[in-house]
Amino acid sequence: MTHSVSKKRKRRAGFGRVAAFILLVCAIAGVAYFCIRDKEPLKIIYPQKYSVYVEKYAERFDVDENLIYAIIKVESNFNPNAESDAGAKGLMQLMDATSSECAKKLNVTADPFDPEDNIMLGTYYLSVLIDSCNSTYNAIAAYNGGLENVKRWSKDEYGELSDIPFGETEEYVKRVLDAYDNYCKLY
């Protein structure tokens, strides 16, 4: 008798796990449906913070606004005080040398932690990379891995990259493109 009670308990436990799994799948499907049907929850994850500055400098330097938002999202998640272990600062995570060089070319003084200054310098730098690489994809890789590396990785001088040997840069490009895709769908 104990043996048959044990089998019944196992079956009930198995049924309970299956039922819990089915409920979980239904809950995930419900949330996915809600998010697809109503974009507002996703807009919380992919906000358009600092839109006045993004719009201003996107137009000035001819860079897609959604690309700027995607880079800010991936770089700092919209934290103007973000600072990496490597020393990159602000919303668009600019290194001091890059900030200084861009500020000099634009003939401005800038604070990398000031949202407007950081977006101005970061967008300008991104526009330079896009022009230098003749490719947004390569420019995104260069934003993280450096322009000289992208030149070296390209099959010809500025061909589209087919392989990025730096895992961090490869992952970065994927994350930015994913965020960009989400921004394009949402806005």
Decide: helix, strand or coil at residue 174.
Answer: helix
CA 82, 85, 89 angle in degrees (round to 5)? 35
- Exactly one of 40, 75, 83, 148 is catalytic; name it: 75
Residue type present at position 74: V
Report which of 116, 176, 94, 112 is spatially closest to residue 140, judged by C-alpha positions. 176
75 tagged catalytic: yes
**Secondary structure in 3-state letters for 64-131:** CHHHHHHHHHHHHCCCCCCECCCCCECCCCECHHHHHHHHHHHCCCCCCCCHHHHHHHHHHHHHHHHH
Which H or E element spans position 153? helix 147-153
Record the tokens describing residue 49, joined without a space.
């913070």
Contact 75, 86 (CB under 8 A): no
Q: Report the catalytic residues.
A: 75
